[in-house]
Amino acid sequence: MRKSYDKKFKARVALEAIREDQTIQNMALKFDVHPNQITKWKRQLLDGAEDIFERSKKRLQDNSAEKENELYQNIGQLKVENDFLKKKYRELYGREPIL
């Protein structure tokens, strides 16, 4: 059966591996994880460290683009609904609605 570890545990082990207070072998025994797995998590943390500082800016840009698309969709939907209601009003009353 495969073990699965949560991201907090992986981060803690990887940070400890970066500190190099202990050997990877000792850490493997301490955390009951294969040494190769600790090395992999350490490499992932170091490779992704620079993204941490870029993500917040990129996330804001992505969120604003998503929000803008959502607003345009809402505008389109409201326009269609408004046109439909104007058409139905003309059919019922035979004249343009008074705004």
Total domains in the chain come to 1
Domain of 88?
A: 7-93
Q: Quick check: is 98 in a domain?
A: no
**Cβ atoms of 33 and 5 closer than 8 Å:** yes
Give pLDDT tens digits for 27-53. 999 999 999 999 999 999 999 888 777
Kindly report whether the global pTM for this prediction surpasses the value 0.75: no
Q: Is residue 1 part of a domain?
A: no
Rounded to 5 degrees, φ, ψ at 5 are: -120, 145
Q: Is residue 28 part of a domain?
A: yes
Output DSSP code: residue 21.
S
- What's the pLDDT at 35? 94
Position 57 in a domain: yes
Residue 99 included in any domain: no
pLDDT for res 75:
96
Amino acid at 39: T
